[in-house]
Amino acid sequence: MAVEVERTGLPGIGLRHEFVTSRGQHAAVVSHVSGRRDVVLYSSDDPDTVTATLSLNSDEANGVAELLGSARIVERLADLQRQVTGLKTIQVPIIAGSPYDGATLGDTQARTRTGASIVAVIRAGQILASPRPDFGFVPGDLVVVVGTAEGTAAVTDIFANG
């Protein structure tokens, strides 16, 4: 079930994304131009009355977004794979002693070398979506790769052989 979100510009403040949950709870996320995010809960009796506000700085907001969204990223990638002909999703393990044990994502140059994209890393049961180039790999990581069969095979080879 898709959630209907109403987006409203707040001049000088930022944006408000307002929605109602399937249980009838009215809420909004206010994104301030400063980077702060406020999660606002409204009264069920009066939709103009705020009952609680949770203010998050940029790092906290990103952390909560990762918690809420990362659990479904692999499922969404699998759905996308079924919809797009020729797209493949694989998980490549980082083992102790591999050429990229302790190296960064940028060190792999995987996208440039293969055309495939590293879209997440699963570490200790947590999904770290959209890792940055300075993300460091450790043994036990599972690297989630999306691309053609050739591209994903080439990324597997990079992690195994350098």
- Same domain (yes/no): 87, 148: yes
In a domain, 17, yes or no: yes
- Same domain (yes/no): 77, 140: yes
> Over 70: is that where the pLDDT of 69 sits?
no
Determine the straight-line distance between the first and last CA of the chain, rounded to whole angstroms: 44
**Span 73-115, pLDDT tens digits:** 556 656 665 556 677 888 889 988 888 889 999 999 999 999 9
H/E element, 122: strand 117-123
Confidence of residue 128 (pLDDT cuts 50, 70, 90): confident
- Same domain (yes/no): 96, 155: yes
- Same domain (yes/no): 93, 148: yes
Which 8-state DSSP code applies to residue 137?
P
DSSP labels for 1-67?
A: -PPPEEEEEETTTEEEEEEE-TT--EEEEEEETTS-EEEEEE-SS-TTSEEEEEEE-HHHHHHHHHH
- Same domain (yes/no): 96, 34: no
The pLDDT value given to residue 61: 80
- Same domain (yes/no): 35, 93: no
Range of the domain at 49: 5-56
Question: In which region does residue 125 sit, left (phi positive, over 0), alpha (psi from -120 to 50) or beta (all else)?
Answer: left
- Same domain (yes/no): 93, 35: no
In a domain, 61, yes or no: no
- Same domain (yes/no): 91, 129: yes
Q: Domain tally for the chain?
A: 2
